[in-house]
Chains A and B, each alone.
Chain A
């Protein structure tokens, strides 16, 4: 039972980083392989602010999110936009953005390595037990979960009840139709990409409260975010959230009963099952 709750807590926290990737792939249509590095950067920045200035992650987030937004906006305008403009179809854009963000991920790793070095970083914040239903759980995991829940809910509200959010959703459904109703698709995509990066960095910030990070772990987070987004059915937020919980629980089950070093294997297991049983994901539409 307690394993399930830990799994839920983990899954809920994963939801945030997955939503970041979903904004980038579902709306901006960019397969961003550097997403994991943004998550790691968010975690590192939080660590640095905590270790250096004793700032609580919940305070640091207010600085990290805008910073990540700006950086990702710049990445979109400088790196991605030329590719979008020169791509003749979505397939070519996929290939180009995969290659470009693959290169970008190494640049990010390089920057992280030179600024923070190669060691594993962790810090202790809210590492006290908190009792739920008679079992103790780490307070930092609960806090991260709550933080993620609040941010996901805010994002959901923004997407569904504001005009800007509406334009993003329109672009993710059909970008040429969105252009026809005078939505500036380029600006919406840049906004989605930047927002996605900001959300991912926030996710990394929250995850840093209870996970240990080093500069090379980005690819693992990219993979997990990708598996969640695909499992949920690329364009659907509900799908991504449910898939996050599924991954969180599967991972915790595997870590508890088989081996804690096999977290990626858990994600791959879900990936393979999905590919074999329902390739369009939980809420995805089967391509005709």
Chain B
């Protein structure tokens, strides 16, 4: 369990996001402890990706506050938040299409939290490529990569900034069973080396094996919080995913 006296790595307090009349995120609060892997789950349209966008600064909060350790990051622009040490992958992979594999990885390591350049950057990037299991040649154009390789590349790019918090937005989506096993092992390795991660996922196997704790969202609000076993047995959660009859 969380040590109540330890400062959370990320504190999300009463955060709301409205788009005109639509409430995408409704007064959600949770805390992320250091070295923890938190699962953010919920049916489609529940506001999970919006929540990640709010944390990474891609969207501005309508209400509430987000703190990274002692730092209030609610009103800061995305590039400032990235520099402070929050890195992410995207639901639909975003490559830098006209650049090579090594340049895509290096991009993450130059401007952010960990600033490297020149030979040091190149060695570091190549090391990361090896870490994520991407064995393409460094000067391959990214357009030649398979989908799973592009996902690995995006993860490497996020890791390149040596982030304090890593946000994975449905990183395991669209993978076949073999790729899925490899992907889960990769995230496990990241967890074991001490990274703090928020995973948004639909793949329950991954959630069960990776996350110590989960937050469940539905229609923008938080409806449950606890270990994966607890929340997946919660009747409210079952109702949200499957409808009232199966609860």
Contacts and interface: CB of A to CB of B under 8 A. Distances in A.
B174 to A, nearest CB: 20
A285 B20 CA distance: 9
Contacts of A182: none
A285 B19 CA distance: 10
Contacts of B59: 288
Contacts of A285: 20
Nearest to A285: B20
Interface in A240-288: 285, 288
Interface in B1-31: 19-20
Interface of B: 19-20, 59
A243 to B, nearest CB: 22
Contacts of A288: 19, 59
Nearest to B17: A288
A81 B19 CA distance: 34
B63 to A, nearest CB: 15
Interface string A70-83: 00000000000000
Nearest to B24: A288
A40 B35 CA distance: 67
B164 to A, nearest CB: 26
Q: List the 3 closest A-B pairs by CB distance, nearest first.
A: A288-B59, A288-B19, A285-B20
A278 to B, nearest CB: 16
Nearest to A88: B97
B161 to A, nearest CB: 25
Interface in A210-250: none
A288 B20 CA distance: 11
A249 B20 CA distance: 32
B56 to A, nearest CB: 14
B207 to A, nearest CB: 28
A12 B20 CA distance: 31
